[in-house]
Chains A and B, each alone.
Chain A
Amino acid sequence: MKRRDFSIMAVAVAAAFAAAPASAKGQYDPGADDKEIKVGNIMPYSGPASAYGVIGKTMAGYFKMLNEKGGVNGRKINFISLDDGYSPPKTVEQARKLVEQEEVLFLFGTLGTPTNSAIHKYMNQKKVPQLFVTTGATKWADPKNFPWTMGWQPNYQGEGKIYAEYILDKMPDAKIGILYQNDDYGKDYLHGLEAGLGDKAKTMIIKKLSYETTDPTIDSQILELQASGANVFYNVTTPKFAAQAIKKAAAIGWKPAHLLNSVSSSVGSVLTPAGLDNSVGIMSVQYLKDPTDPAWQNAPDFKEYAAFLAKYVPDANIKDSLPVIGYTTAHSLVQVLKQAGDNLTRANIMKQAASLDIKDVPMALPGVGVKTAADDFSPVEREQMIRFNGKSYERFGKVYGR
């Protein structure tokens, strides 16, 4: 061969080698390679919302268990979880640290509405997935404007609408008294109920009272609600205040139809401290299995969950319903990663997250699945109403949602 042809061939071969991806196995964005997938997460491990930190610990435990079984598609998950103390500026800092310094593939399960709001624009500008955020706010399902953000839980407004439907159907003469936490979560639930009641909202809602998380007690509000003559109590409070509300209402002999938001419906962490006798008749909505419900004690997914919790998250309380959220959300993520296979680019992660159809979700209620599509960024939408009978919750009525 002439020398010139040889050089051309040499250059062509060299170019072919240079163009080939660095790793032979798959396509990668920063944070993924043949051996591991780096997943970032931000939780309030300190500060006023520290009770939710256990969700992050559960997620960490889940990935540890998964790694011991070999990981996903032969890759281990490196779960990096940072604390933001529920302070939005800190969340911004931690998100930037995870994306720019740790170079994670995506953020998963970050908790809180103001905190996620603070990084919402940033994540979409950087084109890094903000996946399965742990909050029920309605704004995360907006694929047109924010294609890199997706929620997971059934949103709060949807739940409020379910209660509205129930009231309009079963209690058309209701006089509704509302206690809500004065923040995004409380107001979202409030809007849901009001939207669901439509024109009747003005006449049916006779008292709307708020409280701050810094308030020591909400006794005063409960007294006021009783004095207003309300016969339906829409209780939008976080676990500590929900327990106080239930206890106080019983102590003053106020027995309205009690609609309790699902965030605080746990038998173990709310109804038991409040008093099981005081909680009879409380209604709520559920999409996950309550670990204290005797109906599930022999279910195989519950036994697996209990064993997992005991081994991998020893400080967690089996009666607490918060770890269940971490467990089920992590399960959905693993499904996304499985579907992504060796194409671990951020775009593909979002694509797979928007193509989920999981029918059997461990620790979810029967009939509740995880389903997404390119225009449907709400993974879990199905939930059912439940009523407490003194020992456990009984499901009733239909399963709402798509």
Chain B
Amino acid sequence: MNILNRKWVILGSIVVLAVLLVAPFLVKNFRVFQMNLVIVYAIAILGLNILTGFNGQFSLGHGAFYAIGAYTAAILMDKTGMVYWATLPIAGVICLGFGWLIGFPALRLSGHYLALATFALALSIPQLLKYNHLEALTGGVQGIVLSKPDAPFSLMMFGQRLNSDRWLYIVSLIVAVIMFWLAYNLLRGRVGRALIAIRDHPIAASAMGINLTYFKSVTFGVSAAFTGVAGALGAVVVAFVAPDSFTVFLSISFLVGLVVGGLASIPGAIFGGIFIQFIPNIADEISRAAPWAIYGIFLITFMYVMPTGVMGLLRKIWEKTGHKHVDSDASEHP
């Protein structure tokens, strides 16, 4: 039986989805909150993957787009009373614009220089958010406190109520499914192949007629849009935004999640999200004295055992167990 058969894939997906929908009713609220954050981070990492994994443009500044998305949602909800789910597409569009704009100077830079430029962007965001003249809008250093939306209907399952946390989890799940499906469609066809071509052999690609300027800047925009939507969702889930929530460490975490999950792999983003949410907690349990040292050891060990990320490892196992090598987008170059 070939388990890549379409019938089995659909059945498998339905089972997985059902499990995911029921899971929040089996655990405590706070776990649901954590799972929710995993989903949010996975979407953010997916955005980064489009740019860095598939297109080879090195970004150390995606925390900036996450922050812009989060603040967009917060300001809209706070100042105009907009309903939370309407802020998501708006955040996406605004970040699309920003990302596209930033894509232009990024065209001239590559490798380490691009990394520095994006790093600089991430670093300057907190200062901009605290800026005096924008304080009326952004809440300045105090940030903006939001209210968590309630579930629109009542439901009881396994003795647990469908409360605000569980409802938000389901919303995030729906958003994630939409975003992942969008990414899958975008990257499967000609666009995806064009991006990979630009990443691996830019000169040959342009010789073949692929418009580098157009693709690279639009990719930046799309990547920023994904991460911006994640940011907006994150703001709704945490119900609070402040400049301190969006430091450089956030951008670095996204990069870590990307590499650990697996470059140029859509499902890899989920493993990345799980890693950056839970491993710091596990490290904290192991050592109270120097938890981040344990986290660093985890990171390094992961890189030794699976240099191409979790998906890279899974692919290797898949191939070793005799299945045909299907379609690999990962390559030696970032």
Contact with A along B255-289 (1 / 0, CB 8 A): 00000000000000000000000000000100000
A100 at the interface (CB under 8 A from B): yes
Known contacts A88-B242, A100-B28, A100-B29; A183/B141 CB under 8 A: yes
**Is A184's CB under 8 angstroms from B240's CB?**
no
| Contact partners of B127 in chain A: CB under 8 A | 182, 212
B145 at the interface (CB under 8 A from A): yes
A101 at the interface (CB under 8 A from B): yes
**Is A96's CB under 8 angstroms from B141's CB?**
no
| Contact partners of B29 in chain A: CB under 8 A | 96, 100
A89 at the interface (CB under 8 A from B): yes
A97 at the interface (CB under 8 A from B): yes
Considering the complex, give the chain B residue whose CB is closest to the CB of A46.
Answer: B292
Known contacts A93-B33, A183-B141; A118/B291 CB under 8 A: no
**Is B238's CB under 8 angstroms from A89's CB?**
yes
B110 at the interface (CB under 8 A from A): no
With both chains docked as a complex, state the minimum distance between the C-beta of B295 and any C-beta of chain A, in angstroms.
9
B329 at the interface (CB under 8 A from A): no
Give the complex CA separation of A122 and B291 in angstroms. Answer: 27
Candidates A83, A93, A120; contact of B34 at CB < 8 Å: A93
B140 at the interface (CB under 8 A from A): yes
With both chains docked as a complex, state the minimum distance between the C-beta of A257 and any C-beta of chain B, in angstroms.
27
Considering the complex, give the chain A residue whose CB is closest to the CB of B31.
Answer: A101
Give the complex CA separation of A83 and B283 in angstroms. Answer: 11
**Is B234's CB under 8 angstroms from A89's CB?**
yes
With both chains docked as a complex, state the minimum distance between the C-beta of B98 and any C-beta of chain A, in angstroms.
22
**Is B33's CB under 8 angstroms from A96's CB?**
yes
B113 at the interface (CB under 8 A from A): no
| Contact partners of B30 in chain A: CB under 8 A | 93, 96-97, 99-101
Considering the complex, give the chain B residue whose CB is closest to the CB of A137.
Answer: B142
Known contacts A82-B284, A96-B33; A46/B291 CB under 8 A: yes
Contact with A along B31-43 (1 / 0, CB 8 A): 1011001000000
Give the complex CA separation of A118 and B234 in angstroms. Answer: 13
Contact with B along A78-91 (1 / 0, CB 8 A): 00001101111100
B211 at the interface (CB under 8 A from A): no
Task: List residues of B whose CB falls within 8 A of some A CB.
Answer: 28-31, 33-34, 37, 123, 126-127, 130, 140-143, 145, 147, 234, 238-240, 242-245, 247, 249, 284, 291-292
Task: List residues of A whose CB falls within 8 A of some B CB.
Answer: 45-48, 82-83, 85-89, 92-93, 96-97, 99-101, 113-115, 117-118, 120-122, 182-184, 187, 212, 214
The 10 tightest CB contacts between A and B, nearest first, are A100-B30, A96-B30, A118-B240, A114-B242, A184-B141, A114-B244, A88-B245, A89-B238, A183-B141, A88-B242
A-B contact pairs, 23 of them (CB 8 A): A46-B291, A46-B292, A83-B284, A86-B244, A87-B244, A87-B247, A88-B143, A88-B240, A88-B242, A89-B234, A92-B33, A92-B238, A92-B239, A99-B30, A113-B142, A114-B242, A117-B145, A117-B240, A182-B127, A182-B130, A184-B142, A212-B126, A214-B123
